[in-house]
C-alpha cells in the first residue's frame, strides 16, 4: 500500500464516523424534542389549552353568552288550561247496568282539565307576547311566567290558526323585550339560537344553523316560508324565539319533523325543526 | 295525545282515522306530549329515506 492510499482510506473512515455521529445526534435530538413537545402538551392539557386558536373559540363563546343574556329575559313560559268534555261511554248509560250498580253507574267526570305548556316572546314592554296559536288554542286560562319566576294571568288578544300566530298580554310595564330582526337577510349556514321550555325545562337555549330557507307544504297554508334549523326544538319549544347572532327574532319555533313516531304518537328531535319566518 | 290532524280537532280514534285518511302529502299533528304542545310534521308514507 502506498502512503497516499493509506491517507485516503483513513479519510474515508473519518468521514464515515462523522456521518454516523451526525445521524446519532439527529436521532437523539428528534427523540428528546418529541418527548419535550409531548410533555408540553400534556402539561397544557392539565391546566387547559391556550393559544390564539383557543382564544378565538373563547371569544365566540363570549359572543354567544352576550346574545343569550340579552335575549333570555324576553322569553316567557306559557301554561294553559283547557276544559275538555269527557265522552260518557254508552255502556254506562245502559239501564240494566245502572240497575246492577243500584241505580247508579260509575261516574266519569263530565269536564276534565287539560294543561299545555309552551313558550312566548315579549315584543313590547307593556306586556304583549307573541306565541304559536296552537299553544293557546281553546285555552280557558293562560298563565305566563317570566324569567324571574313572576307569574301573571294573561289575556288572549288574538290568534290566527292560518298562520299559527297568537298574541297574549299581561298587565305589566317596563318589561324586557326581544327586538324583531330581518329574516330575509338570513343565509343557509348562519348561526341561530332557539329559546324555549322543552319538556318543561324552562329557559333552555339550543344553538344550531339555518339548514334551509323557504320550506313549505306543512298544511299551514298561510305560511310558505319556514326556516329549517338543526337547533334542537322539542315539545314545549313552540312559540319560542329563533334568534340570529344579533339577538333579534328571525322566527318563531313552530313545528318539528318526525318520521318515527313513538308508541304514544309523540315526536322528538331529529335535527329538523321549523320556525315561522319573521318576514312572513 | 294527538288533538288535531291538519289543524282539524280530533276527539276520537274514528275522527283521527278519518282525518288521517283524508290527509294528502305531509300530515300536521298537534300533539300534547306530557303537557307540552307541539306541531309535528309527518312526511307521507314512502317519503322516508334509507
Pick from A228, A243, A150, A138: nearest CA to A195? A243
B6 contacts chain A (CB < 8 A): yes
Give yes or no for residue A93 having a pLDDT over 90.
no
A205 within 8 A of B13, measured Cβ to Cβ: no
What is the arithmetic mean of pLDDT over A184-189?
93
Are the beta carbons of B7 and A199 separated by less than 8 Å?
A: no
Smallest Cα distance from A258 to chain B, Å:
6
Residue matched to cell numbers 326544538? A233
Of A134, A183, A211, A230, which is the active-site residue? A134
B30 contacts chain A (CB < 8 A): yes
Smallest Cα distance from A124 to chain B, Å:
24
How would you classify the pairing of strands A249-257 and B36-42?
Answer: parallel
Smallest Cα distance from B46 to chain A, Å:
11
| pLDDT tens profile A132-178 | 998 998 889 999 999 888 999 999 999 988 788 899 999 999 999 99
Give yes or no for residue A89 having a pLDDT over 90.
no
The answer to whether A184 is a known catalytic residue is no
Residue matched to cell numbers 243500584? A102
3-state secondary structure (DSSP) of residue B40: strand
- Give Cα B6 to chain centroid, integer Å: 6
What is the arithmetic mean of pLDDT over A65-79?
96
A128 contacts chain B (CB < 8 A): no
Q: Worst-scoring range by mean pLDDT, A27-41, A119-133, B14-28?
A: A27-41
What is the arithmetic mean of pLDDT over A50-63?
95
A71 within 8 A of A195, measured Cβ to Cβ: yes
What is the arithmetic mean of pLDDT over A230-254?
93
pLDDT at B1: 78
pLDDT at A96: 57
pLDDT at A98: 56
Under the banding of pLDDT at 50, 70 and 90, the label for residue B20 is confident
* Cβ contacts of A235 on chain B, cutoff 8 Å: 31, 33-34, 36-38
Q: Worst-scoring range by mean pLDDT, A66-75, A89-98, A252-261?
A: A89-98
B34 within 8 A of A235, measured Cβ to Cβ: yes
What is the arithmetic mean of pLDDT over B2-23?
82
Candidates B25, B26, B37; nearest CB to A117: B37
3-state secondary structure (DSSP) of residue A270: coil
Please report the ipTM that was assigned to this predicted complex: 0.72
The answer to whether A134 is a known catalytic residue is yes
Are the beta carbons of A117 and B12 separated by less than 8 Å?
A: no
Between the alpha carbon of residue A200 and those of residues A197, A204, B36, B38, the distances in Å are 5, 9, 7, 12
Give yes or no for residue B14 having a pLDDT over 80.
yes
- In chain B, what percentage of residues exceed pLDDT 90? 0
DSSP 8-state assignment for residue A220: -
DSSP string across A38-86: HHHHHHHHHH---SHHHHHHHHHHHHHHHHHHHHGGGEEEEEEEEEEEP
A35 within 8 A of A42, measured Cβ to Cβ: no
pTM for the model: 0.72
Other residues' Cβ atoms within 10 Å of the Cβ of residue A163: 17
Average pLDDT over chain A, rounded to an integer:
82
Which residue of chain A comes nearest to B43, CA vs CA?
A: A259
Q: Based on DSSP, count helices (H) and strands (E) in chain A, helices before strands.
A: 5, 12
Amino acid at each position: 500500500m502506498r502512503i497516499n492510499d493509506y491517507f485516503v482510506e483513513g479519510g474515508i473512515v473519518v468521514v464515515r464516523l462523522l456521518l454516523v455521529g451526525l445521524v446519532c445526534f439527529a436521532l437523539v435530538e428528534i427523540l428528546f424534542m418529541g418527548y419535550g413537545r409531548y410533555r408540553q402538551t400534556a402539561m397544557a392539557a392539565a391546566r387547559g389549552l391556550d393559544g390564539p386558536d383557543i382564544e378565538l373559540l373563547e371569544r365566540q363563546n363570549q359572543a354567544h353568552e352576550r346574545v343569550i343574556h340579552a335575549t333570555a329575559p324576553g322569553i316567557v313560559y306559557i301554561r294553559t288550561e283547557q276544559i275538555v268534555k269527557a265522552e260518557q261511554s254508552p255502556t254506562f248509560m245502559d239501564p240494566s247496568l245502572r240497575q246492577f250498580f243500584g241505580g247508579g253507574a260509575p261516574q266519569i267526570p263530565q269536564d276534565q282539565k287539560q294543561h299545555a305548556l309552551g313558550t312566548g316572546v315579549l315584543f313590547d314592554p307593556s306586556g304583549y307576547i307573541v306565541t304559536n296559536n296552537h299553544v293557546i288554542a281553546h285555552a280557558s286560562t293562560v298563565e305566563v311566567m317570566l324569567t324571574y319566576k313572576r307569574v301573571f294571568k294573561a289575556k288572549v288578544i288574538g290568534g290566527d290558526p292560518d298562520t299559527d300566530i297568537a298574541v297574549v298580554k299581561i298587565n305589566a310595564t317596563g318589561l324586557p323585550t326581544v327586538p324583531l330582526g330581518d329574516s330575509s337577510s338570513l343565509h343557509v349556514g348562519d348561526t341561530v339560537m332557539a329559546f324555549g321550555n322543552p319538556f318543561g325545562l324552562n329557559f333552555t337555549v339550543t344553538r344550531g344553523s339555518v339548514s334551509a330557507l323557504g320550506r313549505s307544504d306543512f298544511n299551514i297554508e298561510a305560511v310558505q316560508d319556514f326556516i329549517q334549523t338543526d337547533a334542537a326544538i322539542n315539545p314545549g319549544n313552540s312559540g319560542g324565539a329563533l334568534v340570529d347572532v344579533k339577538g333579534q327574532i328571525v322566527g318563531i319555533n313552530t313545528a318539528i319533523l318526525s318520521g318515527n313516531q313513538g308508541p304514544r304518537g309523540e315526536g322528538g328531535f331529529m335535527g329538523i325543526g321549523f320556525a315561522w319566518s319573521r318576514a312572513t | 295525545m294527538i288533538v288535531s290532524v291538519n289543524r282539524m280537532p280530533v276527539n276520537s280514534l274514528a275522527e283521527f282515522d278519518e282525518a288521517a285518511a283524508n290527509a294528502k302529502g305531509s300530515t300536521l299533528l298537534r300533539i300534547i306530549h306530557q303537557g307540552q304542545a307541539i306541531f309535528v310534521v309527518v312526511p307521507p308514507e314512502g317519503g322516508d329515506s334509507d
